[in-house]
Amino acid sequence: MNPIEKIENRSERMFATIENIKSKIDNIPVGMFPGISKDNPVIAWWSGGVTSAVTCKLCVDWFGAESVRVVFIDTKNEDDSTYTFMKQCEQWYGLEIETITSPDFSCIQDVWYDNLSLNVANGAKCSQMLKR
C-alpha cells in the first residue's frame, strides 16, 4: 500500500468511526447552554484524532457553526495525514479550523535545544512551550 492509499484508508476508517459514534448520541436539549453565541463562542480544540473530530462536529451541530471556533495547535510535528484529515473535517463541519502555533518555537527540536529536555517532573516541556 502506497502512502496516499494509507492516508485515504486511515481517513475512511476515522470517518466511519465518527459517524458510528455520532449516530448513537442524542441531541442536547435546546437552551441547555444559554449565552453561547457568535460573540461568546464555544472553543472546540481539534487535535487530529477521532475523538476531538467528533467533539468538534457535535459542537458545530449543537451550537451552530456561527457560535463555534474550532482551533488546532500545530506543533509542526504532525504527520501529513493529519493535515489531510483536517481539510476533510473542515468540509464536514462547514467551517475553517483555526490554526495557531508557538511564536517562540518552530518545532519540537527547538524546545529540546532550548531546554535540553522534553519531559520533566512537572510536565512535558514540548506541551508547555508549543501548546500554551
Cα–Cα distance measured from residue 130 to residue 104, given in angstroms and rounded to the nearest whole number: 8
Cα–Cα distance measured from residue 57 to residue 33, given in angstroms and rounded to the nearest whole number: 17
The SS3 assignment for 74 reads: coil
Question: What's the Cα-to-Cα distance from 43 to each of 12, 37, 48, 74, rounded to whole Å?
Answer: 26, 11, 15, 16
- The pLDDT-based confidence of 76 (bands split at 50, 70, 90) is confident
pLDDT tens by residue, 28-46: 555 566 777 778 888 999 9
Residue that wins the pLDDT comparison between 15 and 129: 15
Q: Return the C-alpha cell found at 62.
A: 449543537
Rounded mean pLDDT of 58-82? Answer: 89
Counting DSSP H helices and E strands in the chain, the numbers are 5, 5
Question: What's the Cα-to-Cα distance from 50 to each of 30, 88, 113, 123, 126, rounded to whole Å?
Answer: 26, 12, 32, 25, 22
All residues at 6 or more sequence positions from 1 whose CB lies less than 8 Å from its CB, including other chains: 9
pLDDT tens by residue, 8-20: 677 677 777 766 6
Residue that wins the pLDDT comparison between 2 and 83: 83
